[in-house]
Structure 1
Amino acid sequence: MYNLKMKSTMIAASLAIFALAGCSDDTSEPTPVIPPVVQESVSGEVSGVWTKGGTYKITGHILVPAGKSLTIEEGATVLFSDSVVKPEVVVLGNLYSMGSAEKPVKFTVPDAWKTAANQFGNLWGGIIAGPNSTELVLSNTILEYGGAVTTEESPSVKAQLYKAEAGEHVPVAYFMNLAGKFVVVNSIIRNFNEDGFYIEGGKVIIANNMFYTTGVSGGDAINIKSGVQADVAFNVVYSPNTNALKLSNSGERSPQAYVVGYNNTIINAGWRRPTTKGGSIWLEAGVRADLYNNLLANDRYGIKRNAGEPEDKRSVIANTFYYGADQVTANQFQPSTEIVKGLNDMISTKAGENDPKFVNYPLTTATNNANFDTAWDFHLQAGSPALGKGKTDFARLYADGIVVNGVTYKSPAPANYAGAFGTK
């Protein structure tokens, strides 16, 4: 179904002929330096290891076959280089993207394509896992400029994955195996056309990530359905088109969707959506959600439920910190049949109340702004009213960790402040 067309142009290291200098009787030879791999025209089936610092130029759809795995090592670049095909990454086996803080893995496009006109990507598809994909890890990974729309020829449509129809923008990553494990940690998701993660099954940890410039006319940063049990913590989500977290038990899969979401910072959510729905965290269809210590600044709404089809009554919401720079925003935080009031919430009732005192972020930035400044710093200054307001004595699902490919990933311990960052 897929043809492998990998033409390697590995810049091979010369096991060079080392000239002897002078009359030295030093017979030791220097260790040869092996340049990183460069592979041109990558498409079709892929598996094995993509090596440290390598560049893999993707010119067609790629597929990790069932029963096989692809491991991408630190510093590798997965470069989507065909603007006509706009390749998808279909994972029927397992995928492990294993960057480091100093050398992240990058799923990206050529620098010349990173223009204002392409602010929301649409230049490659996304990572789409099949029903038997048991493990998918994105660790210290940058994913950017994707979210292309599906066609009748898209491999995800042909394989009946994701929404299984043409005309749908692909999320950053889609995962569906009820018995699988999906882990995203210490990563950056940016410049994407649609949802960040769309998850319909599995044990899930999403922690310590940054999301910004996502969603053109719709889209949530993290979209969770039935069959998922997840810890979602210490993420910063800036100006998602709709919600940072859309939590639902729709789909009638077992187990019931259960999400423990805590210490997330959500800023300017929901304002760019052309129609009104959510605008921070959305709850619906009997999802069980325990939400603690989340910091909501200048979002379109407070935590919001579908009043006609609300969350599970066992859900617990507590210690949410709210800030609105203007009165319209503050008004839309106030409890109602749709806006959920939690225990020990700090809800601003007037414009400018509860200034979280971010280290570097102008709180008067336009709420519909999607341009992210990497100099912004969402740590809290000393004296922030969000300090000391966090609850720490609650259970999370994966405090003891889940093991993926021999590595144990634990959801981080909650902090005694609201939001993703305390003081520096």
Structure 2
Amino acid sequence: MNTRKLLLSTVLLSAVFASCKKDKSSDPAPVVQENISGEVSGTWAKNGTYKVSGSIIIPEGKSLTIEEGATVIMVDSNAKPEIIVKGNLYCTGTAANPIHLTIPEEMKGGNQWGGLWGGIIAAPTCAELLLEYTEMDYGGAVTTEESASVKAGLYKAAAGEHVPALYVSNVSGKLVVQNCAVHNFREDGFYIEGGSVILDHNKFYTTGLDNGDAINIKSGVLADVAYNFVYSPNTNGLKLSNSGDRTPQAYVIGYNNTVVNAGWRRPTTKGGSIWLEKTVHVDLYNNLLANDRYGVKRDKGNPEDSRSIVGYTLYFGANQTCVDQFQPSDEILTGVNDMVSTTVGDNDPKFVNYPTSTDMANGTFNTAWDFHLQAGSPALNAGKTGFSRHFSTAITMNGMAYTSPEPATYIGAYGTN
């Protein structure tokens, strides 16, 4: 290359680098908004911080999109804000850049069970609700006469009720929750009374102080519930019911879920892993139940739909009480190819990093625990595949297609690392 060409190339490269540097330095700073309350819609920007001082309402016919990396902080523990969704809500976090619905850091100390804000409460007019890679914590506040949900006649529409992390009530609506986390929440995780629903790859821990289930589904729902991990819910990992007698009949296909230490913190006995009642129609496959208070349990006075199928469940119990309460009875269901512990320690799932001797009533979660399976786990190559799901054909929401994941050849929410 001659000297002139070399000089020209150097100048051009310098200009490119200078342009790149200028573009980077001129990127807008992340949005910070204060004192948010009342009606909201539009877009909350990527990596923005939104400080909510009172309940917010997405009006009917409008939508709010919360972009990846946004942090929504409920700043007033006296107001205990709620998110009321009369229109549509789209939380579009990513694995690398999730959304966080939370409280100020200084309010978290010494408060394991939250109750400092409400939850997401969707009205029957909410047509679409999407949560992807969204973390919710420290909510589940008790309602008062001034609560937005009480004034709007939503959820239980009464003062004195702890609200769940997510409540949905439109039987014609669409709900997709994928790769989300709910923790340090005083009440139920999800309470769903209607819609076409996909719940997959979610995590629940430190939920339900006095009672509550991780996923609570009622009539009016067609749901695929898969690859969810639940640690130490107060009562059940899944409570499945057709109560309310809405159309359609509740029909839940639940597969490849892991539920650990369920039910032991409830002072009275009811369920303690998966509970079925009131003609709910279920197909349950490939679920791993470890150290739970009971096996899959029915309300024998008002049981599940006779078409229901239960099978390919792995049970593990680290003490005799646990093992005894897995055994088949008129209340405890077993199915084809279930692996039911008959002695303490049978069917050890061989979690990568979790001491199965941990107190079963423990509600404190160690994020270093790893519930993937080691080589040699009886859960590997023991799952059922090939069964139908409601939404192997996609739910379309906000212009995007969402499908239920394929079942795995292993049992539980996680295979090997």
TM-score (ref. length: structure 2) = 0.95
Q: Which has the larger helix fraction?
A: 2
1:161 match:
154
2:237 match:
244
Distance between the aligned counterparts of 2:57 and 2:174, measured in 1?
19
Distance between the aligned counterparts of 1:408 and 1:120, measured in 2?
35
Which 4+ residue blocks in structure 1 deviate beyond 3 angstroms?
25-29
Code of the aligned partner of 1:92: K
Code of the aligned partner of 1:44: G
Unaligned runs of 5+ in 2: 1-13
Confirm or deny that 1:100 pairs with 2:100: no
**1:111-150 correspondence runs (5 A):** 111-116=105-110, 118-150=111-143
Distance between the aligned counterparts of 1:189 and 1:408, measured in 2?
24
Distance between the aligned counterparts of 1:165 and 1:415, measured in 2?
42
Q: CA deviation at 1:383?
A: 0.5
Pick the aligned partner of 1:69 from 57, 60, 63: 63
Where 1:156 maps in the other structure, the secondary structure is helix
Distance between the aligned counterparts of 1:168 and 1:374, measured in 2?
30
Tell me how many residue pairs correspond in the alignment.
399
1:187 match:
180
Pick the aligned partner of 1:282 from 272, 275, 286: 275
Q: Deviations over 1:144-167 (max 9, x none)?
A: 000000000111111110001000
Distance between the aligned counterparts of 1:33 and 1:423, measured in 2?
41
Q: Deviations over 1:42-69 (max 9, x none)?
A: 1111000000000000001100000000
1:18 match:
none
Pick the aligned partner of 2:44 from 47, 50, 55: 50
Pick the aligned partner of 1:174 from 131, 145, 167: 167
CA-atom RMSD, angstroms? 1.0
Pick the aligned partner of 2:336 from 343, 346, 355: 343
Where 2:135 maps in the other structure, the secondary structure is strand
TM-score (ref. length: structure 1) = 0.93
Q: CA deviation at 1:26?
A: 5.7
Q: CA deviation at 1:354?
A: 0.6
Where 1:157 maps in the other structure, the secondary structure is helix
Where 2:52 maps in the other structure, the secondary structure is strand
2:201 match:
208
Distance between the aligned counterparts of 1:326 and 1:196, measured in 2?
28
Q: Deviations over 1:298-319 (max 9, x none)?
A: 0000000000000000000010
Pick the aligned partner of 1:371 from 364, 367, 378: 364
Q: Deviations over 1:368-391 (max 9, x none)?
A: 001101111111000001111100
Q: CA deviation at 1:33?
A: 2.3
Confirm or deny that 1:80 pairs with 2:74: yes
Confirm or deny that 1:312 pairs with 2:332: no
2:392 match:
399
* Larger displacement relative to structure 2 (28-37 or 68-77): 28-37
Q: Deviations over 1:98-139 (max 9, x none)?
A: 1000110000011111122x1110010000001110001110
Confirm or deny that 1:412 pairs with 2:411: no
Code of the aligned partner of 2:44: W
Unaligned runs of 5+ in 1: 1-24
Q: Deviations over 1:55-96 (max 9, x none)?
A: 000001100000000000000000000011010100000000
Confirm or deny that 1:358 pairs with 2:376: no
Where 1:190 maps in the other structure, the secondary structure is strand
Pick the aligned partner of 1:33 from 15, 21, 27: 27
Distance between the aligned counterparts of 2:85 and 2:378, measured in 1?
45
Where 2:176 maps in the other structure, the secondary structure is strand
Distance between the aligned counterparts of 1:115 and 1:345, measured in 2?
43
Where 1:329 maps in the other structure, the secondary structure is helix
Distance 1:26 1:247, change over 3 A: closer
2:7 match:
none
Where 2:150 maps in the other structure, the secondary structure is helix
**1:230-241 correspondence runs (5 A):** 230-241=223-234
